[in-house]
Structure 1
Amino acid sequence: MDGTMEPFLLLTLLLIAVGAGVIGALFGLGGGIIFIPVLTILYGLDATSAAAASLVGIVATSTGSASGYVRKGVSNIRLGMMMEITTCAGAIIGAAVAIYLDNTVLLVIFSCVMLYSGFKMAVSPEKLTVEHEEGNPMTFEYEDPTADPPRQKYTVKNVKSGMALCTVAGAVSSMTGVGGGAIKVPLMNIHMHVPVKVASATSSYMIGITAFSGAVIYFIHGDILLDVAAAVAVGAYVGALIGTRIASKVNAKSLKRYMSVVFFAIAAIMFCEAGGIL
């Protein structure tokens, strides 16, 4: 798309971005899974411009949600930084591997991962918050107004294998162009025994760092459409602030159920894209 976008289209995009920001903040996904199809299918942007604007939106979502989650003590900063190291390494590997693999194969693989994650999130009970070990350096606590008691403790398990699997998450997200939060949230919750609210909040914190790096490269290359990026960023930031407020009022069991539905939807979109329907 050349030139500037009409004001009405920008306003519509801003409203859509608000919704994407809410979903991104609630589930730690960043909103990229919504930005990409909206910008390419509805607004006719090429893949590069859509990816560039999507990264700006993810940074805005992360900024809006992470600030609230960190202030409330929900995000696990230490765990996030540890996992971000291997995620970034995986992203570099994924970018190199993607050159030699067919995009359809990558989309199908990602869809299968999403189906599995959605199923596990739906059937795995949220009993992880009571699993903690006093004196363990990987034991943390956070505030959950919907829980009893509100102050919950948990111990992160399988740290080394979780970090290793984050390399896969980074690689898959890099190869498919979809944020790694869709993989990291169930990974932290199911494999590492991190409560789902903490996993979502920590993912929101992490994806902003990764997305910012990519957005800078796109900006240097002149691929960011400033009016589109501005609408996406403002909407996503506002949506993220709303999403963090909603998250504090939703109990963990409901959040996991809603998240599984989102993952199934993501899988359906990716399967459609792989089949050439989208």
Structure 2
Amino acid sequence: MYSILLLVISVFGGFLGALLGLGGGVIVVSALTLFFGVDIRYAIAASLISIIATSSGAAASFLKDHLTNLRLAVLLEVGTVFGAIAGFFISSYIQSKWLFFLFGGFLLFSAISMLKKKGDSRAEVNHPWSEKLNLGGKFNNEVGELVHYHVANVPLGLFVMFFAGIFSALLGIGSGIFKVMAMDGAMKIPMKISSATSNFMIGVTATASAGAYLMKGDIRPEIACPVSLGIIIGSFVGARVMPKMPADKIRKIFVVVLVAVAIQMVMKGFKA
């Protein structure tokens, strides 16, 4: 019964993860710690494995729909991988209750930032680095219109991605929230491109962290296996639904998920 319930929650987490570019870690970590009483470090380790599964399940569909910006993803991964390695070393010196507070505070900050924003940001011109590396692109929106977009503030995006990698290792969320915010806000890339590109990137970031947690013995197969299976199923469905949804709806779902989970995690921190 335990495994079946965990599987169902993971399917839901994978669906939201693919839809929003979060990796499903937000749902998985919260469910494991709040409902199943799993130690947050084991939950983070299982979440990192599930994030790799989410990325694998959604990436193929998004690539087929030309929503993933591969050039941009490869560039930004330089910052996230170094951040993930730094986050692993930092995690050994932080108590569990502070991880809850950090997780909750980060999510609340993200929700407020996203709530203030209306519609897609669109860069009017490419940053010089974007121009040289040909980072701009095009995609078909939900009504089939061809949309061209530019990429702004590339150095700022790389800087933010370093901290996204740190959050990935500390919180086991794949740092998808941070990545979507960076691309959507700082780099002014359309929400759908940000979500799809984040889905592609989180697998690489999580892999860098998961190997370290495996060496520490924090990955429990009885937790990671049903979670990964559910995440793969959910992410496949979410990747099919996302291209057909308006960007504003995706943003609203994003904010609701963040606020609900943030409140729960802060409360858990007080009880720890």
d(CA) in 1 for partners of 2:95, 2:227: 30
Residue correspondences, number: 268
Amino acid at match of 1:232: V
Deviation, 1:50, is 2.5
1:258 aligns with 2:253: yes
The RMSD of aligned alpha carbons is 2.5
**Per-residue CA distance 1:127-184 (angstroms, 9 max, x = gap):** 4357456x9423211222x24x622111110000110111122223323333311111
1:84 aligns with 2:72: no
1:206 aligns with 2:201: yes
Pick closer, same or farther for the CA change 1:231–1:74 going to 2, 3 Å.
same
Amino acid at match of 1:237: I
d(CA) in 2 for partners of 1:35, 1:264: 15
Q: Which residue pairs with 2:240 in the alignment?
A: 245
d(CA) in 2 for partners of 1:121, 1:67: 27
Q: Which residue pairs with 2:25 in the alignment?
A: 32
Deviation, 1:210, is 1.9
1:191 aligns with 2:186: yes
d(CA) in 1 for partners of 2:179, 2:62: 17
d(CA) in 1 for partners of 2:209, 2:260: 25
Report if aligned partners of 1:21, 1:243 keep a CA contact under 8 Å in 2.
Answer: yes
Runs of 4+ in 1 over 6 A off after TM superposition: none
Per the normalisation by structure 2, the TM-score is 0.87
Report if aligned partners of 1:182, 1:263 keep a CA contact under 8 Å in 2.
Answer: no
% of aligned pairs identical? 33
Counterpart of 1:128 in 2: which secondary structure? coil
1:56 aligns with 2:49: yes
Pick closer, same or farther for the CA change 1:101–1:54 going to 2, 3 Å.
closer
**Per-residue CA distance 1:49-74 (angstroms, 9 max, x = gap):** 33332222111111111111112110
Per the normalisation by structure 1, the TM-score is 0.85
Pick closer, same or farther for the CA change 1:52–1:175 going to 2, 3 Å.
closer
Q: 1:66 aligns with which of 49, 59, 73?
A: 59
Pick closer, same or farther for the CA change 1:54–1:114 going to 2, 3 Å.
closer
Pick closer, same or farther for the CA change 1:10–1:127 going to 2, 3 Å.
closer
Structure 2: give runs of 5+ residues left out of the alignment: none
Q: 1:19 aligns with which of 2, 12, 29?
A: 12
Counting only pairs closer than 5 Å after superposition, residues 74-223 of structure 1 correspond to structure 2 as 74-101=67-94, 104-105=97-98, 107-129=100-122, 131=124, 136=131, 137-144=134-141, 146-147=142-143, 150-219=145-214, 223=218
Pick closer, same or farther for the CA change 1:274–1:192 going to 2, 3 Å.
same
d(CA) in 1 for partners of 2:222, 2:101: 33
Structure 1: give runs of 5+ residues left out of the alignment: 1-7
d(CA) in 2 for partners of 1:150, 1:142: 8
d(CA) in 1 for partners of 2:204, 2:171: 18
Pick closer, same or farther for the CA change 1:258–1:37 going to 2, 3 Å.
closer
Deviation, 1:38, is 2.1
The farther-off stretch of 100-109 and 157-166 is 100-109
Amino acid at match of 2:264: I
Amino acid at match of 1:9: Y
Counterpart of 2:173 in 1: which secondary structure? coil
